[in-house]
């Protein structure tokens, strides 16, 4: 990939920060979309709620990576916060897609964030990109999230939906909350422990996003998960072994439901998702198994 100008929303988040660092290290120009007046070179103002984007700032971009959205695990799912989760994704994506479509020379590709939550609870069944949408709040949000990018696709922009799994990092995200618990000896399986977790190392996630920018054969949904999903019980064993801490304190399902409310259904649910299209396109994982992903996260000192 030659030197390119790439626009990114959510550039200050866990994944966005790592992606910006990776692109800039290879000499690419990064344009950050910020939710305030642009103050520095390389910033473009946008407001996902009001659906406004300074589209002129996207001129000359070869690609746009749209990662912004309210954190799913940041707060208890009250009615107000569920609306924020939905609106931040659906309205923001529609604004970006329409801005991209409005340009005389639009970017070649829009990589729009999505999540494996679209499949709902898959139980023991393997789900690739051909699996149908599931049921529940997150599945509904993900469907609307992807549909909101229609303006870009209709304008002829190659549009990819990056369906992300659990990102393994100690610096943020859901997995970032596990590391301190296990370090303190408080880690343990959740519920039965038989539910599948589809994960991806942060470095593989960044590499996969760059692969989606470059590989012109890819459009539509692409699962960003490691090739070997594991059960929560297996995650617990690996975390305990790698961190040299006992993992003997299971968290019963009723306790999780009391603590997390509706969100507990997703913690206890099973998603056995595989990255069929990513593998078929020739992508190679640096951390294909959960132990290598956890060890890579520990080695990431930033």
pLDDT of residue 258: 64
For the residues 260-282, what does the mean pLDDT come to?
A: 84
Burial of 150 (0-12, 13-18, 19+ CB in 10 A): middle
Query: Chain-wide mean pLDDT for the chain?
Result: 92
CA distance 204 to 59: 29
Give, for 126, the enclosing helix (H) or strand (E).
strand 126-127
pLDDT digits (tens, 9 = 90+) for 11-59: 999 999 999 999 999 999 999 999 999 998 899 999 998 999 999 999 9
Distance separating the N- and C-terminal Cα atoms of the chain = 25
For the residues 153-175, what does the mean pLDDT come to?
A: 94
For the residues 269-274, what does the mean pLDDT come to?
A: 94
DSSP 25-36: HTT-EEEEEESS
Helical spans, DSSP H, in the chain: 14-25, 79-102, 137-147, 150-154, 173-176, 178-183, 202-214, 232-243, 253-260, 264-268, 276-280, 290-299
Q: What φ, ψ does residue 272 adopt, rounded to 5°?
A: -105, 85
With CA atoms as reference, report the closest residue to 103 among 166, 174, 152, 176: 152
For the residues 105-117, what does the mean pLDDT come to?
A: 97
More confident residue, 113 or 249: 113
pLDDT of residue 72: 86
| Residue located via tokens 């550039």 | 11
Q: Give yes or no for residue 250 having a pLDDT over 90.
A: no
Percent of the chain past pLDDT 70, that is, above it, reads 95
Task: Report the 10 Å Cβ neighbour count for 178.
Answer: 20
């Amino acid at each position: 990939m030659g030197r390119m100008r790439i626009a990114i929303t959510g550039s200050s988040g866990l994944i966005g920060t790592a992606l910006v660092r990776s692109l800039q290290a290879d000499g690419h120009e990064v344009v950050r979309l910020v939710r305030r007046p642009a103050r520095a070179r390389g910033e473009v103002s946008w407001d996902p709620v009001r659906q406004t984007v300074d589209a002129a700032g996207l001129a000359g971009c070869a690609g746009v990576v749209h990662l912004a959205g309210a954190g799913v695990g940041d707060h208890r799912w009250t009615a107000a916060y569920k609306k924020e989760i939905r609106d931040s994704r659906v309205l923001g994506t529609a604004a970006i897609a329409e801005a991209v479509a409005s340009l005389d020379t639009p970017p070649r590709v829009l990589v729009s964030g999505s999540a494996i939550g679209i499949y709902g609870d898959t139980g023991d069944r393997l789900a690739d990109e051909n699996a149908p949408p599931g049921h529940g709040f997150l599945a509904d949000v993900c469907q609307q999230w992807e549909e909101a990018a229609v303006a870009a696709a209709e304008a002829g922009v190659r549009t990819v939906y990056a369906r992300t799994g659990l990102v393994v990092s100690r610096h943020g995200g859901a997995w970032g909350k596990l590391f301190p618990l296990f370090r303190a000896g408080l880690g343990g399986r959740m519920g039965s422990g038989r539910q599948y977790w589809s994960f991806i190392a942060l470095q593989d996630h960044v590499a996969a996003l760059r692969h989606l920018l470059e590989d012109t054969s890819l459009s539509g949904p692409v699962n960003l998960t490691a090739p070997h999903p594991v059960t929560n019980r297996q995650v617990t064993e690996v975390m305990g072994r790698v961190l040299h801490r006992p993992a003997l304190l299971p968290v019963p399902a009723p306790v999780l439901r009391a603590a997390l409310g509706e969100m507990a259904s997703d913690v206890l649910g099973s998603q056995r998702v595989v990255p069929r299209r990513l593998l078929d396109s020739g992508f190679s994982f640096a951390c294909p198994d959960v132990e290598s992903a956890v060890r890579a996260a520990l080695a990431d000192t930033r």
